[in-house]
Homo-oligomer: A and B are copies of this chain.
Amino acid sequence: MQLAARRITALQERLRPLMDFLGHSEYARRSGDPDVADFVLGNPQEMPLQGLVDAVQHHAVPQNKNWFAYAFHNHASAEVVARSLGASTGLPFEADDVLFAPGTFGGLATALRGLVDPGDEVIFISPPWFFYESMIEVLGATPVRVKLQAPRFRLDANAIRAAITPRTRAVLVNSPQNPTGHVYTREELNALADVLNAASSEAAARQKPPVVLISDESYNRVLFDGRTFVSPAVAYPHTFVLYTYGKQLLAPGERIGYIAMSPRIEGRAELRESLRFSQIVGGWQIPNNTLMRAIPDLEAISIDVGAIQRRRDRLHAELTRMGYEVMCPEATFYMMVRSPMADEWAFVDRLAQHNVFVGPGAIFEMPGHFRISMTASDEMVTRALPGFKAAIASARAR
């Protein structure tokens, strides 16, 4: 007699390979061992940034009686975010259109809950982040998958056009993209905007609201080779920007990010209230006061992205030399590698025998690949290289 909701257990069942890998696998048992090289998650493998510690400590000191009172918002911090987005996009973002969220995770839940009714469709892109599909479906909406094509995994505006129906309420994109490491170009975004503008015009003709573009930009400051990031908000007006400081600070356990509505969305005053209401009835999906107050400090600090780029270059060169087929990422923490064995789970196990832990591609809808998180330390890379070499050799020797 199952106590849990059927809706939850059905989603759990679908994500069982991921949840078992994270919770019950050899990885789960051994990830903390000192001899393990851990490339699985975008998790820190070195000590945290002192600037984050300083910011938390500083903003925990109360300056008035309201320091730890209920707070929906922090206007001064929202001004800083609006200015930052304004500078990067050229759009006049407003502080009142910034809602703080406990990471992109919480921001996405709030945004989806504020937009979708049961039966509405939300398009997401595959290979996707782990939880997009479940987060759409748990709200009673229908996730619609658009698969991008190897080897470049470029944003496919035609495939999105084909997936749009009168029930489409939102399209969810992720750039820079986890796990491919691709940053959508202005041309890709313009093609997407053409499709969405057309769909929104058709919706308007039916007295329906425009399709909303939800832009998960969690990695927009983890860019390599001097790239600049172009937000989808620049290309399409009806855009929500989702951001988390968890990547820039490599501190995903401190939950702070935001939803920012493009200043080009009409009817934003009503939408602000609805999103605020979504935050509340979803379970007060608003960060701690301490972290909301810390935003002006957090905006200014970052991990050393150059070090991640050097790690990418080293891994790319070394793994390629060993015979691996590596996708060289333009951004993000992640590098996808083709598995030398068709069954990447078996190859992931083989690497694990060498104390090297990577993510099986199946959990990113990229079977036949594995994912390396470049948040591993340089020392872990050094320790792992012989294991990578031995594993591909043994795979080929079969």
Chain A positions within 8 Å of B, measured between CB atoms, are: 1-9, 11-12, 15, 19, 23, 32, 41, 43-48, 52-53, 56-57, 60-62, 64-71, 102-103, 105-110, 113-118, 120, 131, 134-135, 138, 140, 169, 204, 207-210, 212, 238, 249-255, 265-267, 270-271, 273-275, 277-278, 280-291
CB contacts (< 8 Å) of A274 on chain B: these are 3-5, 8-9, 12
16 contacts between A and B (CB under 8 A): A3-B209, A3-B271, A8-B281, A9-B274, A43-B66, A43-B69, A47-B65, A57-B61, A69-B253, A71-B253, A102-B284, A105-B280, A107-B283, A110-B283, A118-B118, A254-B290
Residue of B nearest to A1 (CB): B209
Neighbouring B residues of A109 by C-beta, 8 Å: 282-283
| Chain B residues, CB < 8 A from A254 | 68, 288-290
Partner of A288, one of B46, B67, B255, B271: B255
What distance in Å separates the Cβ of A303 from its nearest Cβ neighbour in chain B? 11
A290 near B56: Cβ-Cβ < 8 Å: yes
Of B68, B252, B271, the contact of A251 (CB 8 Å cutoff): B68
* Closest residue of B by beta carbon distance from A52: B68
Copies in the assembly, this chain: 2
Closest B residue by C-beta to A101: B283
Give min CB distance, A249 to chain B, whole Å.
8
Once A135-B283, A283-B102 are accepted as A-B contacts, the answer to whether A1 and B253 lie under 8 Å apart by CB is no
Give the shortest distance, in Å, between A343 (CB) and chain B (any CB): 26
- Taking A53-B60, A113-B138, A131-B281 as given, write out 15 further A-B residue pairs in contact, using a Cβ cutoff of 8 Å, ordered by the A residue number: A1-B207, A3-B115, A3-B238, A8-B277, A8-B278, A11-B281, A32-B66, A43-B66, A44-B65, A53-B61, A56-B290, A57-B60, A106-B284, A131-B280, A285-B285
The residue among A64, A209, A251, A287 with the most chain B CB atoms within 10 A of its own CB is: A251
A274 to B70, CA, bound (A): 29
Instruction: Determine whether the beta carbon of B6 is less than 8 Å from that of A117.
Output: yes
Residues from chain B with Cβ under 8 Å of A64 in the complex: 47
| A47 with B70: CB separation less than 8 A | no
A255 cross-chain contacts in B, Cβ below 8 A? 102, 284, 286-288
CB-based contact B57/A69 at 8 Å: no
Q: Which residue of B lies closest to A137 (CB)?
A: B281
Q: How far is the CB of A275 from chain B (nearest CB, A)?
A: 8
CA distance A274 to B13 in the complex (A): 10
A210 to B290, CA, bound (A): 40
Q: Which residues of B contact A15 (CB under 8 A)?
A: 277
Determine if A140 and B113 form an interchain contact, defined as CB atoms under 8 angstroms apart: no
| Contact (Cβ within 8 A) B60 A60 | yes
B283 near A108: Cβ-Cβ < 8 Å = yes
Q: Which residues of B contact A138 (CB under 8 A)?
A: 113, 281-282
Q: Which residues of B contact A102 (CB under 8 A)?
A: 102, 255, 283-284
Bound CA–CA A38/B271 (angstroms):
29
Given contacts A281-B11, A283-B105, contact A48 B62 (CB under 8 A): yes
Closest B-chain residue to A251, C-beta based?
B68
| Shortest distance from the beta carbon of A291 to any chain B beta carbon, whole Å | 7
Shortest C-beta distance, A213 to chain B (Å), equals: 12
Bound CA–CA A118/B4 (angstroms): 13
Q: Is the CB of A3 within 8 A of B210?
A: yes
A8-B12 Cα distance, complex, nearest whole Å: 26
